[in-house]
Structure 1
Amino acid sequence: MNRNYLKHEFLLTAKSRRTIPFVFFVAVLLFSYCLFLWPYANTKESFNKKETEEHLAYLGDQQKLWRSIGNTGLIFKWHSASFSRQVGEPVYAENAHNYELFSGMLQSFEDRNFTRMLQLRTHYLQSNPGDYLEDRFLFQTAPFPTKDREHAYYQTMMKYEDYLNKDHPITFGLMYEKTGLQTLQNFLQNYGVYFLLFCIIYFSSEILSRDRKHQAILQGLPLSWYRQLNLKSLSAFLYSMVFISSVIIVGVLIMTIQFGFGYFDLNVPIMIQQKTFTSEDYSVISLAAYLGKTLVVLPLLALLFIRLNIVLSLLFKNEWIVLFISSLLLFSERLYSTRSTTELFGKDISLFPQTYFDFGKIIDGEKNFLLNTETITYTKGILVLLVTYFIIEVILYIVSNIINKRRFYKAS
């Protein structure tokens, strides 16, 4: 009976009139993201051939100007007659060096020689951190743009140095983080967990309310009310896991066909402290460890929201109200959180479960960095979510005894 009922509920969710259009919509989003949005997304490190050619033309004109006036030595920006000291810069020599460097990058890009291109780009950034730190367009709307630019610079340098130290061939996909595994990593780091949790909320929002249309049949089932709720939760959980696995596998497969699968041993920069605001504050974990630690939490988060939806369904008996309230709770952090929010109701922000819903930002220390704190950790996140799940289970047990099967269907 349990197995048949579980199969019945699973198929009801899969064949629901609400589920099929939603799955189609997600499929369209997935293919759009993997085929059009992410492959052509521009980042700070995206190579712009036109801009590079214009920069080379500018450097060439500058060199001609310096030669025409016979000034190819030091350029003195400051001089005082009271001191026998002069401060000058070898502008002509630096321009000549940069001209060769950018010409090499342009030629490497055209020849698809990304190993040489990465070597040149890394060499340039090592000598010119101002390319990040002085870029006024980078994070210009952020409350702490200088801090964010330094953060991006250190992360980029750590990734590039790792690529060069590994024996893996340098390809376009690897350099610009478009391989299958790197795409999955970026998806999880950039609110991908929110997207997957919303899908789970959507699928489980009607698993109880839909039965009220067939109450004459279901009231006679030889199953206790609490077991029935557990089996419904299990069916929604299994369907959600199948759906999430399918989205991840298909997404990684599409990116793999285009740019390669990637490598599990690549290093992911993580911020371990915020004391010196230099490279000393960073460490690394493998890409395999990052993906494993993130994805292993998804089942716990899925169970948490599915059981919460059961409670809300018992109380409100309407799938749209359930969807709205659960979604509001999922995104609640976005309503109050700022870059300086470290407390909520006088308590540390790390004690609230909504802090950990976007779990992709916990493992790499990004959440700590964004909120300017160091109290949010992986272990504490697991503990807080487990406590929250336990509390929801207790509430569900109490509510299911108050709103039993007869009372639930009688209210229709």
Structure 2
Amino acid sequence: MFRTVFLETFKKIYRNKKNRLIFLLAFIGIILYSFLYLPTVNNPLTIDADELALETESAYGMKESRLAEGDIAVNSFTGVDTYSLAKYDYENNFMFYDALQKGDISRLFELKTTDYVPVFTVDALNDYLERKHDGQFLDMDFERAVINNNLFALSEINHPTTHEFNGKTGIQQLYSFFLNYGPLILLFITVFVASEVLVDDRKHHTLKAGQPLGWRKYIFYQSVSVFILIATGIAFFLMFFFLLISLLYGFGDMSLLTTHYAYTEGYRASEENFFTSPVIDLILESLILTAVLLYLFIRLNAVLSLIFRHDVIVMIAGFAIIAFNRLYSGGGEDSFLGLGAHLFPQNYFEFGNILSGRQNFLTLSNNFTFETGIMVLLITIIIIEIILGLLAGWMTRQKFVRQVD
């Protein structure tokens, strides 16, 4: 019987022109991102070779002019030895420039993890953070620490490449997808596709006459079918995305570590509060959370379908639930309705903030973890299952299909 429901659900999803359009747009989006946007992306700590050459030449000229004039003593007013300072800048800038010219990425990583970094590189990072976060100082502090710590992690791998430095390899981009807007994109697609499946039965209810399957079991079979179909589609697109990026920029080092946050003590942005984890572990956790969230929203879609019985309203309600945290406050709170915010599922929809530790950084806690998220989401699923069971008893099949618009 499950096979019958599965095939029926597959036909509904496949024959829906809006679903085919959304998957076509997803395919085109991956192509455009890979070939048009990603080539323009660079690490915020990327050194401008032309500017570095000018800085190096300027420092050399200053050094030589001070030496020619014999002015190599410490200035009694400023306490600065202009010659030694210019010589120091020249020698360090030249080492950076030489590493860039030779394409020695390992040497570049080694140099950038020392105390000396060209001044204009620091300024470029500050400008990048200001543009991205627009005065949100906590977010700026968090990302600055992550960028600098990731640099140390990159310097530990064997034979790093420029693509790894810029975060463009397949494994880095897959992780970045989950870390940023990926979870929201997947949930919006899930709601978009699933919103019409159960409600569509109202348009063809005569086809259900005499079907030897209980109403609750039918809804469950349909939900599982939708989950399998959407999960398969998402898996296909993620694999396509990963393979395309890998062909263009390399697979990436599986031993790569990424920076995360867990508060221990002292200043919020202290180095002691940041740690590293294997990128592959975070991707696996992301896939698990994605699967749990997909099932949660598909069952929630069934609840909304029984209540509203109209696909557009169901879709809008689903979108509003996904975006609730952003609509409510934008995230970052440590409490909600007088209780710890980590106990509410909406804080785990954008789970990249959880896995990266950003939510703990903003709340100065260690409450938001992968394990807590799984527990909260599973409890939410149980609650939804109970509500759905009660609602299906009240909204019978006959009442549900009545008064087709």
**Structure 2 length as normaliser, TM-score?**
0.90
Amino acid aligned to 2:255:
D
Cα distance 1:76–1:374, how it changes in 2: closer, same or farther (>3 A)?
farther
Alpha carbons of structure 1 residues 338 and 194: separation in structure 2 relative to 1, 3 Å: closer
- My pick for the range that moved more, 134-143 or 326-335, is 134-143
Equivalent position of 2:105 in the other structure? 114
CA RMSD of aligned residues (A): 2.7
Cα separation, partners in 2 of 1:76 and 1:243, compared to 1, 3 Å = farther
Partner of 2:397: 405
Q: How many residues align?
A: 401
Task: Name 1:211's counterpart in structure 2.
Answer: 201
Determine if contact 1:229/1:310 at 8 Å carries over to the other structure: yes
Match of 1:390 among 359, 382, 386: 382
User: Can you give the 5+ residue segments of structure 1 that lack an aligned partner in the other structure?
Assistant: 79-87
The alpha carbon displacement at 1:2 in A equals 1.9
Return closer, same or farther for 1:370/1:155 CA change in 2, 3 Å cut-off: same
User: Which among 216, 226, 241 is matched to residue 231 of structure 2?
Assistant: 241
The whole-number CA distance in structure 2 between the counterparts of 1:212 and 1:274 is 55
Looking at structure 2, the residues matched to 11 and 71 of structure 1 have their Cα atoms a distance apart, in angstroms, of 84
Q: Counterpart in 2 of 1:159?
A: 150
- What secondary structure is seen at the aligned counterpart in 2 of 1:222? coil
1:218 deviation in Å?
Answer: 2.2
Shifted more, 182-191 versus 339-348: the winner is: 339-348
Deviations 1:274-330 (A, max 9, x none): 522321112221111111112111111001100011111111111111111111110
Q: Is the 8 A contact 1:311 1:396 kept in 2?
A: yes
* Contact kept? 1:133, 1:149, Cα under 8 Å: no
Distance 1:5 1:153, change over 3 A: closer
**Aligned residue in 1 for 2:261:** 271
Q: Residue 47 of structure 2 contacts residue 121 of structure 2 at CA under 8 Å; is this kept in 1?
A: no
CA contact (8 A) 2:325 2:331 kept: no
Higher helix fraction (1 or 2): 2
CA contact (8 A) 1:14 1:239 kept: no
Mark the runs of 5 or more structure 2 residues left unpaired by the alignment.
none
Q: Find out whether 1:200 has 2:190 as its counterpart.
A: yes
Partner-residue secondary structure (3-state), 2:114? helix
Change (3 A) 1:395 1:254: same
Question: Which residue is 1:82 aligned to?
Answer: none
1-structure distance, mates of 2:396, 2:13: 23
- Indicate how the Cα distance of structure 1 residues 74 and 134 shifts in structure 2: closer, same or farther if over 3 A, else same: farther
Task: Report the 3-state secondary structure (helix = DSSP H, G, I; strand = E; otherwise coil) of the residue aligned with 1:270.
Answer: strand
Return closer, same or farther for 1:129/1:274 CA change in 2, 3 Å cut-off.
farther
Q: Residue by residue, what CA displacement relative to the aligned partner does 1:38-72 show, whole Å, maximum 9, x if unpaired? A: 23124422333333334335435544664576533
Instruction: State the TM-score, normalizing by the size of structure 1.
Output: 0.88
Tell me the equivalent position of 1:183: 173
C-alpha contact (below 8 Å) 1:340/1:371 kept by paired residues: yes
Cα contact 2:142–2:358 (8 A) shared by 1: no
Residue 262 of structure 2 contacts residue 360 of structure 2 at CA under 8 Å; is this kept in 1?
no
1:164-188 Cα offsets, whole Å, 9 max, x none, are: 333x211111111111001111111
